[in-house]
């Protein structure tokens, strides 16, 4: 290889270096011009946007808070992105407002887990109620199916509310751990419990029912069968409700129990009154008794009374006023009188009084006595005829066998005036049982014994065969038959003649 001389080689390399530098300068200049053009284009676009797209005010409502941003963005998604609001699957955005201010309301979809008929569905929903969630899932409810939210009874009308934890996670832009909604931290957990058939037997009658409640007691309540105090149910109300279960209900009977110091109501399965008292903790004292008896069977709405028995002696008094009686004193002369003054007495009666719960229920007369005994005033008069001189006074038939005379005051009566109606069995019948007619005389048997024959001047012969409440002492009543008005007139006081038998 032939190389040129050293001087020539240097001369030949200098033009080459110059040409390279010129080329490099031209390349760098083209890059600068390109970048400048890009910058100018961007500046032009920004300037154009500034004049064409004005800034507008947007109020963003999301996750229970509000924020306001100034934006030239036209789409809701772009504005929300500028406001650093993340839209999740199922979320909805509602835009309202005017040219002055736009409102973007973000409605968060709530994660929901539905367990029904052995299947579990999970999705996010904008439904407002549990019923809306079931409608989205195409799940229908039977008349006695139950809805549970987080294992608690719920209604299809209950609202779908996000849990506080879920809302907080969205506000803080935190991600919740994946998995089921067992703790409802990620949304709402809904379960459908289907009704199962069971049989209720009450009072020998079987009733076929169905219920979705978990226990016997809740199943009965759902079907309108209430258990009152004292009612028995087999199996117990707390027992699990299973398909085909047979439930026996025995109703308690109501007993109104009245005690000496209080009244109470007992619901019992007892068969006798004695068992009712035992349930109530009532021990009968020797001075107490129960109605009805302890052996009586218990019936519904039965009244049982425990009565406290007591007795006491009671004495009452009554003033007995004295009366006036007339008598003949043969020691007195004709037309003479003397009077022995009487006095009032006091009658005492002693009773044995019985009480039940302090209320008198009976009394028995034990004894009675006078202190002092009453004494009638006695008016004595002499005979109108001096029988010491003649056995039979003038006007008296001589053939009569007169034993004595007696000064009396006489009235008259007939059957109509005796106080009984014509239809009465005792109408016109005397105390001795003989019919009332003329010649029957009512007397005080203590003064004139019944059966005594007598002669009454102006009336005729008579026999003592009747008595009367007002015929006391030396008072007699002269009888007349039927409705015959007696010709005796007013009361007369005179001597009558007692005949020997």
Task: Please give the torsion angle defined by the CA atoms of residues 282, 283, 287 and 293, in that order, rounded to the nearest 10 degrees.
Answer: 70
pLDDT at position 500, please? 86
Q: Mean pLDDT per 10-residue run, the chain (501 residues)?
A: 40 48 54 66 52 69 79 75 78 77 84 93 91 93 93 90 51 46 62 96 93 94 92 94 95 93 92 93 90 93 92 92 80 79 93 90 92 88 55 61 88 84 82 90 93 91 91 92 80 89 80
pLDDT at position 99, please? 60
Q: List the beta bridge partners of residue 429.
A: 435
pLDDT at position 175, please? 45
Radius of gyration of the chain (CA): 64
Give the separation between CA 484 and CA 437, rounded to whole angstroms: 9
Whether the CB-CB separation of 120 and 113 falls below 8 Å is answered with yes
Class of domain 110-193: alpha beta
pLDDT at position 139, please? 93
pLDDT at position 105, please? 85
Task: Spell out the residues 6+ positions from residue 417 whose beta carbon is closer than 8 angstroms to its own.
Answer: none
Homologous superfamily of the 312-380 domain (CATH):
Resuscitation-promoting factor rpfb. (2.20.230.10)
- Contacts by 207-212, CB closer than 8 A, 24 or more apart: 210/144, 211/144, 211/241, 212/144, 212/145, 212/146
pLDDT at position 160, please? 84
- Least Cα distance to 206 among 197, 215, 217 occurs for 197
- The CATH number fitting domain 383-499, selected from 2.40.40.10, 3.40.50.970, 3.40.50.11440, 2.60.40.10: 2.40.40.10
Give the separation between CA 32 and CA 447, rounded to whole angstroms: 171
Give the separation between CA 73 and CA 223, rounded to whole angstroms: 60
Whether the CB-CB separation of 227 and 266 falls below 8 Å is answered with no
pTM: 0.46
pLDDT at position 42, please? 61
pLDDT at position 346, please? 95
The architecture in CATH of the region 196-250 reads Roll (3.10)
Q: What share of the chain is helix, strand, coil (3-state, %, to 5)?
A: 15, 40, 45
Give the separation between CA 261 and CA 133, rounded to whole angstroms: 61
Whether the CB-CB separation of 110 and 166 falls below 8 Å is answered with yes
Whether the CB-CB separation of 440 and 466 falls below 8 Å is answered with yes
Task: Spell out the residues 6+ positions from residue 92 whose beta carbon is closer than 8 angstroms to its own.
Answer: 106, 107, 109, 126
């Amino acid at each position: 290889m032939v190389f040129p001389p050293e001087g020539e080689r240097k001369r030949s390399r200098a033009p080459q270096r110059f040409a390279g530098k010129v080329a490099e300068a031209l390349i760098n200049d083209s890059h600068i011009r390109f970048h400048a053009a890009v910058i100018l284009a961007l500046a032009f676009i920004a300037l154009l946007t500034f004049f064409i797209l004005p800034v507008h005010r947007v109020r963003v409502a999301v996750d229970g808070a509000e924020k306001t941003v100034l934006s030239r963005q036209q789409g809701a998604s772009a504005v929300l992105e500028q406001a650093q609001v993340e839209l999740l699957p199922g979320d909805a955005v509602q835009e309202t407002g005017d040219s002055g201010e736009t409102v973007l309301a973000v409605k968060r979809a709530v994660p929901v887990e539905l367990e029904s008929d052995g299947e579990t569905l999970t999705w996010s929903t904008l439904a407002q109620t549990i019923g809306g969630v079931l409608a989205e899932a195409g799940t229908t409810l039977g008349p006695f199916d139950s809805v549970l939210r987080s294992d608690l009874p719920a209604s299809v009308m209950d609202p779908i509310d996000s849990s506080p934890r879920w809302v907080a996670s969205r506000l803080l832009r935190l991600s919740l751990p994946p998995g089921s909604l067992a703790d409802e931290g990620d949304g709402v957990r809904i379960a459908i419990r289907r009704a199962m058939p069971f049989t209720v037997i009450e009072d020998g009658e079987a009733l076929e029912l169905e219920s979705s409640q978990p226990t016997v007691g809740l199943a009965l309540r759902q079907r309108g069968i209430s258990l009152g105090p004292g009612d028995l149910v087999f199996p117990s109300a707390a027992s699990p409700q299973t398909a085909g279960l047979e439930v026996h209900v025995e109703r308690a009977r109501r007993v109104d129990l009245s005690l000496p110091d209080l009244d109470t109501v007992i619901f019992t399965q007892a068969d006798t009154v004695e068992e009712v008292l035992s349930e109530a903790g009532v021990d009968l004292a020797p001075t107490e008794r129960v109605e009805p008896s302890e052996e009586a069977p218990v019936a519904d709405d039965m009244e049982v009374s425990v009565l406290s028995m007591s007795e006491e002696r009671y004495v009452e008094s009554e003033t007995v006023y004295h009366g006036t009686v007339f008598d003949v004193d043969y020691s007195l002369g004709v037309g003479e009188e003397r009077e022995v003054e009487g006095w009032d007495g006091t009658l005492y009666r002693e009773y044995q009084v019985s009480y039940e719960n302090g209320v008198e229920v009976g009394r028995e007369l034990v004894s009675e006595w006078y202190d002092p005994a009453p004494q009638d005033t006695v008016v004595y008069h002499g005979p109108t005829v001096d029988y010491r001189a003649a056995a039979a006074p003038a006007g008296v038939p001589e053939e009569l066998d007169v034993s004595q005379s007696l000064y009396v005051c006489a009235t008259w009566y007939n059957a109509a005036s005796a106080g009984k109606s014509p239809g009465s069995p005792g109408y016109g019948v005397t105390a001795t049982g003989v019919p009332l007619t003329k010649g029957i005389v009512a007397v005080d048997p203590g003064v004139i014994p019944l059966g005594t024959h007598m002669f009454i001047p102006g009336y005729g012969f008579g026999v003592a065969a009747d008595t009367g409440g007002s015929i006391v002492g030396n008072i007699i009543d002269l009888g007349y038959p039927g409705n015959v008005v007696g010709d005796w007139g007013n009361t007369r006081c005179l001597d009558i003649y007692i005949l020997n038998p």
